[in-house]
Copies of this chain bind each other. A is one copy, B any other.
Amino acid sequence: MKIRVYYEDTDAAGIVYYANYLKFCERARSELFFSRGMLPQSEEGYFVVKHLEADYRAPAKLGDLLEVKSALIERKGASIVLEQRVLLEDESLFQMRIKLAYLHDGRPARIPPSIYSILEEG
């Protein structure tokens, strides 16, 4: 997924504000559903973030056209781990592993097979 860096994403240090890489990654996760005419949250359940580990390697700047790549690297009954990277022309600027738990009515729930196939196709 391509993401342009606009003024709103930058800060007075002249680079993308550190929290905004998490926004970019969440857009990529949600777009998996939106592009299929679905919402990430349904009556069956929804994902919540439980844990993440992030590496900041080089800063993105105003006007950069970034790419976000996501891969499912761990799959359990009620949670998944994704690896997401933010790239600028093949250079990895940011990388994170994020653990998402699937909930239904606030309690852990099995991830439906239809959701898995969306996440695996990427």
* Contact surface of A with B, Cβ cutoff 8 Å: 4, 6-8, 10-15, 17-20, 22-23, 26-27, 30-31, 33-34, 39-41, 46, 48-56, 59, 61-63, 65
Contact = CB atoms under 8 A, between A and B. Distances in A.
Contacts of A7: 11-13, 17, 26, 30, 40
B55 A18 contact: no
A40 B63 CA distance: 9
Interface SS, A side: mixed
Nearest to A48: B56
Q: How many copies does the complex hold?
A: 4
Could you say which of A7, A48, A55 has the most chain B C-beta atoms within 10 Å of its C-beta?
Answer: A7
Nearest to A20: B19
B26 A8 contact: yes
A-B pairs, top 7 by smallest CB distance, nearest first, are A10-B12, A19-B22, A7-B11, A19-B19, A18-B49, A12-B62, A53-B53
A18 to B, nearest CB: 5
